[in-house]
């Protein structure tokens, strides 16, 4: 994923993020289901509450909050279901950010004898521990192929962890399973950019991919500590700035068609930064897509899709402006 930045006075440093989902033969669990399972394992179930419902009958807007433990997140969508899913997705993102890193020894690429590694890491156990720590579904192992004569059998086993899948071959089911787990650990290390599996935004972005089936555009925000001081969303409703007053008192369609420019002017006036992340993969309809992140507190992340990259940015900016308009009018 590439990144384009429209800077405003509050500077913020962000890192590149990538999206690499794979289609699963089984239906993927929704963010609500994943968060519920996480809550069961941790002993505190998520609690959802509808914060706001407004908009026209043909274009409604709902805001739902979810509280799980000490974390509270909110999502906005064009249906109650979508808003709840987005709130759950935001909570999962926060839990990913605050989860402790799991250090996994890097597997050597050299073909040394096994005696050089008297205590090789148990990749099957590592994956299971990682799934429990992150609140994911446990890894699933499936024997895909069983071939060869009785004295020289070969087994092909797949390892599936959330939306990722790896396969390996071994002379026994156990050996093939272990090799598949080792390949999955290496895959996770690759996604994290090192030997420490962090996956800060990977699960969130897989959920973003899933949510494309629910709505064309949406907005979520998460409650977590920003790296730098930022503008409180709550303070925007008290702002007397010219741009904020125009946004608060007029329909978006009557103000502008260049929502990127409008968002840039608003961010400069209010003192926060807007960053656009291009998502490499198109939507299922072949449209460009991107995420717009506002350095507010809580952080706001909005999605947009369009027939061109600039159209996608404009759509994401429109979603962000719509969200700010709702929050500033409370």
- What is the C-alpha end-to-end distance of the chain, expressed in Å? 35
Higher per-residue pLDDT: 209 or 172: 172
* pLDDT of amino acid 221: 45
pLDDT-based confidence at residue 176 (cuts at 50, 70, 90)? very high
The residue ranges of DSSP E strands in the chain, in sequence order, are 2-6, 47-56, 59-68, 71-77, 102-103, 140-147, 154-161, 164-170, 196-197, 218-222, 231-232, 274-279, 288-294, 296-297, 299-306
What is the CATH architecture assignment of 122-197? Answer: 2-Layer Sandwich (3.30)
Would you kindly state where each structural domain of the chain is located, as residue ranges? 2-9+27-99+200-328, 122-197
Q: State phi, psi for 163 to the nearest 5 degrees.
A: -95, 5
- pLDDT recorded at residue 209: 54
Say how far apart CA 25 and CA 28 lie, in whole Å.
9
Confidence band (pLDDT; 50, 70, 90) for 180? very high
| Residue-averaged pLDDT of the chain | 72
CATH code for 2-9+27-99+200-328? 3.30.160.20
What are the tens digits of pLDDT across the range 97-138? Answer: 444 333 344 344 333 333 344 445 678 888 887 777 666 778
Grade residue 39 by pLDDT with cuts at 50, 70 and 90: confident
Q: Is the dihedral of CA 9, 316, 217, 36 positive or negative?
A: negative
- Residue identified by tokens 């402790």 is 100
Higher pLDDT, 267 or 11: 267
Burial class (CB in 10 A: 0-12, 13-18, 19+), 225: exposed
**pLDDT at residue 211, as a whole number:** 53
What per-residue confidence (pLDDT) applies to 174?
92
Q: Do domains 2-9+27-99+200-328 and 122-197 have the same CATH topology?
A: yes
pLDDT at 111: 37
Residue 231, pLDDT > 70, answer yes
Distances (CA, A) of 191 to 18, 102, 165, 184, 244: 8, 14, 13, 11, 40
Residue-wise pLDDT for 278-316, tens only, equals 888 888 888 888 888 888 877 788 888 888 888 889 988
Query: Each residue of 41-88: pLDDT tens digit?
Result: 777 788 999 988 887 777 788 888 888 887 888 888 788 888 888 888
Worst-scoring range by mean pLDDT, 33-47, 96-110, 152-166?
96-110
Residues 169, 215: Cα–Cα separation, whole Å: 40
Over 60: is that where the pLDDT of 206 sits? no
Q: How far apart are CA 21 and CA 279, in angstroms?
A: 12
CB contact set of 252 (below 8 Å; sequence gap of 6+): 259, 318, 321, 322, 325
Distance CA 267, CA 274 (A): 7
Strand order in the sheet with 218-222: 2-6, 274-279, 288-294, 299-306, 218-222, 71-77, 59-68, 47-56
Using the predicted structure, report yes or no on whether residue 163 has a pLDDT greater than 60.
yes
Report the distance separating Cα 147 and Cα 195, nearest Å.
34
């Amino acid at each position: 994923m590439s990144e384009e930045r429209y800077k405003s006075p509050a500077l913020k440093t962000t890192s590149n993020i990538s999206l690499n989902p794979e289609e699963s033969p089984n239906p993927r669990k929704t963010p609500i289901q994943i968060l519920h399972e996480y809550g069961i394992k941790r002993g505190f179930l998520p609690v959802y509450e509808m914060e706001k419902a407004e908009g026209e009958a043909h274009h409604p807007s709902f805001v739902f909050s979810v509280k799980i433990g000490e974390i509270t997140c909110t999502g906005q969508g064009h249906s109650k279901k979508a808003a709840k899913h987005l709130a759950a997705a935001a909570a999962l993102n926060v839990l990913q950010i605050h989860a402790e890193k799991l250090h996994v020894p890097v597997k050597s690429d050299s073909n040394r004898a096994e005696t050089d590694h008297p205590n090789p890491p148990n990749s099957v156990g590592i994956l299971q521990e990682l799934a429990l720590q992150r609140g994911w579904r446990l890894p699933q192992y499936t024997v895909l192929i069983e071939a060869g004569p009785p004295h020289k059998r070969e087994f092909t086993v797949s390892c599936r962890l959330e939306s990722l899948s790896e396969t390996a071959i071994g002379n026994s089911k156990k050996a093939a399973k272990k090799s598949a787990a080792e390949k999955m650990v290496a895959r996770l290390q690759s996604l994290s950019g090192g030997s420490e599996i962090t996956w800060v935004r990977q699960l969130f972005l897989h959920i973003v991919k899933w949510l494309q089936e629910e709505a064309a555009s949406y907005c979520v925000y998460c409650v977590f500590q920003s790296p730098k001081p930022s503008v409180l969303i709550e303070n925007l409703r008290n702002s007397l700035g010219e741009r904020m007053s125009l946004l608060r008192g007029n329909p978006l369609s009557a103000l502008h068609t260049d929502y990127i420019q409008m968002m840039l002017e608003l961010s400069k006036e209010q003192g926060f930064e807007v960053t656009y992340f291009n998502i490499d993969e198109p939507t299922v309809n072949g449209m460009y897509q991107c995420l717009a992140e506002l350095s507010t507190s809580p952080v706001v992340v909005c999605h947009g899709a369009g027939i061109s990259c600039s159209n996608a940015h404009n759509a994401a900016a429109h979603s962000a402006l719509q969200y700010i308009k709702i929050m500033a009018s409370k």
